Chains A and B, each alone.
Chain A
Amino acid sequence: EVQLVESGGGLAQPGGSLRLSCAASGFTFSSYEMNWVRQAPGKGLEWISHISGSGGRTYYADSVEGRFTISRDNAKNSLYLQMNSLRAEDTAVYYCARPPGTEYYGSWCASHIWGQGTKVTVSS
């Protein structure tokens, strides 16, 4: 079964850090680009980061550029999101997501397989 399972969410203080993980199973992880998408309470979806299958190419939304770092370990079938300098507005459910197909032009722009999400709360 194709599956993504996020972990690492919790309560963090403003200015603090958290590292989210996403464990992938049921597919050849290294063949797929991956995304992180978040959803603030009662709000819509927001794409925040993307990484290529090899990990050599990363993209970020302006809202997290310079504070968040996406990475992956293909040997461990795992995706990560290091979140630093956290702000109250980073409070959200964070989802890792996989595109419907392997790498081709624009393939990363859709997310087919989603994890269940992990909740991050930034508050003092």
Chain B
Amino acid sequence: QSALTQPASVSGSPGQSITISCAGTRSDVGGYNLVSWYQQYPGKAPKLMIYEVTKRPSGVSNRFSGSMSGNTASLTISGLQAEDEADYYCSSYAGSNTLIFGGGTKLTVL
């Protein structure tokens, strides 16, 4: 399976809202409500921010939200903060007991 498509980079100013997209197909993103989003700082392990499209693990700020429309999932970060600057990855169940990730998006807080 091909990787999910994410923008290489997005940026925003503190306090703004940004959205990162994750484009797939009916065979992965659009076929299942099993999209997750991860935040990763350089040299660190990823952190789960959203799973099953919209669910937030305990301890994750409610400034992070997930949604899906058709074959594209999205992660929205509202009230952007300097600490949100990181790489973000989406993943999705892709059928046949496989999981695929997006290529990652570098978020810059201006």
Total chain B interface residues with beta-carbon distance under 8 A: 26
Whether B57 pairs with A111 at a CB distance below 8 angstroms is no
A114 and B45 CA atoms in complex are apart in Å by 7
Question: Using a Cβ cutoff of 8 Å, how many contacts connect chains A and B?
Answer: 66
A43 to chain B, nearest CB (A): 8
- CB-defined contacts of A72 to chain B, threshold 8 Å: none
- Within the complex, which residue of B32, B52, B101 is in contact with A44, where a contact is CB–CB below 8 Å? B101
Residues of A within 8 A of B (CB): 35, 37, 44-47, 50, 59, 61-62, 95, 100, 106, 108-112, 114-117
Can you offer 27 A-B residue contacts whose CB atoms are under 8 A?
A35-B99, A37-B46, A44-B3, A44-B103, A45-B38, A45-B46, A45-B89, A45-B104, A47-B99, A47-B101, A59-B97, A59-B98, A100-B57, A106-B32, A106-B34, A106-B52, A109-B34, A109-B52, A109-B91, A109-B93, A110-B34, A110-B51, A110-B52, A112-B51, A112-B57, A114-B47, A117-B45
